[in-house]
Structure 1
Amino acid sequence: MKIMVYEVRPDEQADLEQQAALHGVELAVTDAVPTLENAALAAGCAGVSILGQGRIDAALLDAFYAQGVRYLSTRTIGYDHIDLDHARSIGLRVCNARYDPNGVADFTVMLILMCLRHYKQALWRGQVNDFSLAGLQGREMKDLTIGIIGTGRIGAQVARNLSGFGCRLVAYDLRQNPALEGMVTYVDFDGLLSQSDVITLHMPLLDSNRHLINRETIAKMRDGVVIINCSRGEMADIEALIEGIETGKIGALGMDTVEGDEGIIHADHRVDILPNRNWFYLHQFRNVIMTQHMAFYTDAAVASMVSCGIGGICAMAAGEPCPTELTPPAV
């Protein structure tokens, strides 16, 4: 079996070679983002593996299917970039990836601490030999209430990490996680907004929670709230975030992903002119930390993503159970 692998990063190469040998498959690789223009690269391939920079819409799925592709894997946990309904309708089976939650959870705590201790400004000053303290007085987590929106694998690990800091933890989720009993207090959504000094997002992006953070929800938050997003950028309305920072309602942002970051993250744009005004305007505030969608980026996570990407296609093709399959065939 041959698999076309798009969006290959150099750090994935060794793991891809290992997976090809393990499963006895042939891999064709490119660093290109999948588009209609390069869909023909998948000709003769039973499977296609992607990352998350392209929009895998109905037209592109049809193009892959016409090339003989019957299996698609995304080497990401998120799958909102794929039209799953259309994939299901044409019989193209799709799976995503899994990796341990520790990397993203650790990164979340790091962003919280950096925001609370004004580290962006401190770092900038230190680079020009300004070691003054004015404006850098921080807060201690033991004195704060931290709200966790979404208590699945990653949100639960964030709670475990934070439990050692002595802060009060509240959480909101449609389904309470029994493993967190005694560690967090579940409240309703408005209760979390009004009680939390820090709010951190850990939910998959769905139509129901797109722009969950908006002008109305920000208005219900405490003055000076810190918002952390290591989930999906579209969960927060970027214009509402800008307004919140400008008015001082939001005290700081720690954002590993921001609405509109497609085509910006994971690439070097030092000599480019980029048109996304909102993204770069938000980026320049002294109390806004924006990283390049790298919370997931550890050696263990990359190996797991590649393993799921190739192994998932092989499992689906062999008729074996694929625990990360998103569009199983109709029974």
Structure 2
Amino acid sequence: MKIVFYSVREDENELIDAYAQKYEIDLVKTKEPLTLETVSLCQGAQAVSIMTTKVDEAIVCELKKHGVQYISTRTIGFDHIDLDACKKYGMHAGNVSYTYSSVAEYTVMMILMSLRNMKLILERFSSQDFSLEHIRGRELKDLTVGVIGTGKIGQEVIRLLSGFNCKIVAYDLYPNENVKKYAEYVDLDTLYEQANIITLHAPALEQTYHMLNKEALQKMKKDVIIVNTARGRLIDTIALIEAIEEGRIGYAALDVVENEHHLYYKDLKNKILDNRELLILKSFPNVMLTPHTAFFTHQAVSDMVEYSITNAIKTIEGQENPWQLV
């Protein structure tokens, strides 16, 4: 079996080689993303492994012509793959799982850093400004956290937060009994009204697109903290910017933003960035941005590489693959 790995980072190289040997697959690796120009590398391959590159109908069609049967994204999110096109051309596609602690711990870190105005403290310290103006923080134990989405990551966030003795309210279309040990399920409007901190862990679906829009933001407490380590498209960025400028948002900690896929994971210093909203957010003292790195731990990367291979093998060999999407 042959798999072509696209968008290979330096930190993945050894892991890809090791797991290719373990599972006895033929391997092609490239730093380049999967595009119409690079699809020719797939000749003779049964599967491709990608990151967050857009895979549209034209690419799916070309993959099919080259004999590819399975598209594996080394991510939990899969909104960058045109699943309708995959169905049309009889192409299988799937995502992966990885240690949930990576994103959950990062989320809690962002919550704590937001509460203590850590961006401003660090920026001041680097210029030897040791004053206390505008950096007085809040304590988590006195606040209510609203968790939107109680899948595996949301559940782990809630479990970790329970140790801080804060009140936790949660929203999900499918309530989980384990969550009820630590949190109270409420409807979205109630969550918006009660929560001092709102953290997003919902999938990127048509139904969740811009779920935090102007109307939702207006229902939230003044000085609410918004944390997003899920997907950028969950938040209407223009509406968020307006709410920050109007002084209604206390802090925003965003590991993901809309239209990030062509920017993040690249060295773009001294370049003009093609994302005006990102630049506006970057300018606010009460917005902390990180480049989609919540997942990025040793264990998570190892899981992503291994499961990308094993999931492709399962589908192609006709075995049950719980991560197969199409």
Q: How far apart, CA to CA, are the structure 1 residues paired with 2:65 and 2:312?
A: 18
How far 1:182 moved relative to its partner? 2.6
Q: How far apart, CA to CA, are the structure 2 residues paired with 1:121 and 1:15?
A: 37
Question: Contact 1:19/1:311 (CA < 8 Å) preserved in 2?
Answer: no
Q: Which residue of 2 aligns with 1:142?
A: 141
How far 1:3 moved relative to its partner? 1.0
SS in 2 for 1:49: strand
Greater alpha carbon shift after TM alignment, 15-24 vs 285-294: 15-24
Q: How far apart, CA to CA, are the structure 1 residues paired with 2:134 and 2:4?
A: 52
Q: Which residue of 1 aligns with 2:7?
A: 7
Match status 1:49 vs 2:61? no
Match status 1:17 vs 2:17? yes
Q: State the Cα deviation string for residues 146-177 of structure 1 (Å, max 9, x = none).
A: 00000010000000000010110000000101
How far 1:14 moved relative to its partner? 1.2
Gaps of 5+ in 2: none
Aligned counterparts, 1:25-104, within 5 A: 25-52=25-52, 54-104=53-103
Q: How far apart, CA to CA, are the structure 1 residues paired with 2:180 and 2:214?
A: 32
Letter in 2 for 1:229: N
Q: How far apart, CA to CA, are the structure 1 residues paired with 2:323 and 2:182?
A: 29
Q: Which residue of 2 aligns with 1:257?
A: 256
Q: How far apart, CA to CA, are the structure 2 residues paired with 1:20 and 1:38?
A: 21
Letter in 1 for 2:91: L
How far 1:89 moved relative to its partner? 2.4
How far 1:316 moved relative to its partner? 1.3
Q: Which residue of 2 aligns with 1:320?
A: 319
How far 1:95 moved relative to its partner? 1.4
Question: Contact 1:209/1:235 (CA < 8 Å) preserved in 2?
Answer: yes
Q: Which residue of 1 aligns with 2:268?
A: 269
Q: Which residue of 1 aligns with 2:291?
A: 292
Q: Which residue of 2 aligns with 1:195?
A: 194
Q: State the Cα deviation string for residues 7-60 of structure 1 (Å, max 9, x = none).
A: 1111111111111111111110111111112111111111111011x2111111
SS in 2 for 1:178: coil
SS in 2 for 1:170: strand
Q: Which residue of 2 aligns with 1:171?
A: 170
Aligned counterparts, 1:274-285, within 5 A: 274-285=273-284
Letter in 1 for 2:15: D
Letter in 2 for 1:315: K
SS in 2 for 1:181: helix
Q: State the Cα deviation string for residues 219-257 of structure 1 (Å, max 9, x = none).
A: 000000000000000000111111111111111000000
Find runs of 4+ consecutive structure 1 residues off by over 4 angstroms. none
Q: How far apart, CA to CA, are the structure 2 residues paired with 1:101 and 1:284?
A: 31
SS in 1 for 2:75: coil
Letter in 2 for 1:158: V
% identity of equivalent residues? 43
TM-score by length of 2: 0.98
RMSD: 0.9
TM-score by length of 1: 0.97
Q: How far apart, CA to CA, are the structure 1 residues paired with 2:122 and 2:26?
A: 47
Q: How far apart, CA to CA, are the structure 1 residues paired with 2:160 and 2:279?
A: 31
Q: How far apart, CA to CA, are the structure 2 residues paired with 1:275 and 1:45?
A: 34
Question: Contact 1:73/1:94 (CA < 8 Å) preserved in 2?
Answer: yes
Q: How far apart, CA to CA, are the structure 1 residues paired with 2:210 and 2:304?
A: 27
Gaps of 5+ in 1: none
How far 1:145 moved relative to its partner? 0.4
Q: How far apart, CA to CA, are the structure 2 residues paired with 1:160 and 1:102?
A: 11
Aligned positions, number = 326
SS in 1 for 2:31: coil
SS in 2 for 1:208: helix
Greater alpha carbon shift after TM alignment, 310-319 vs 64-73: 310-319
Letter in 2 for 1:168: K
Question: Contact 1:253/1:289 (CA < 8 Å) preserved in 2?
Answer: yes
Greater alpha carbon shift after TM alignment, 283-292 vs 33-42: 33-42
SS in 2 for 1:147: strand
Q: State the Cα deviation string for residues 50-99 of structure 1 (Å, max 9, x = none).
A: 011x2111111001110111111000000011111221222211111101
Q: How far apart, CA to CA, are the structure 1 residues paired with 2:34 and 2:181?
A: 46
Q: Which residue of 1 aligns with 2:126?
A: 127
Greater alpha carbon shift after TM alignment, 191-200 vs 18-27: 18-27
SS in 2 for 1:314: helix
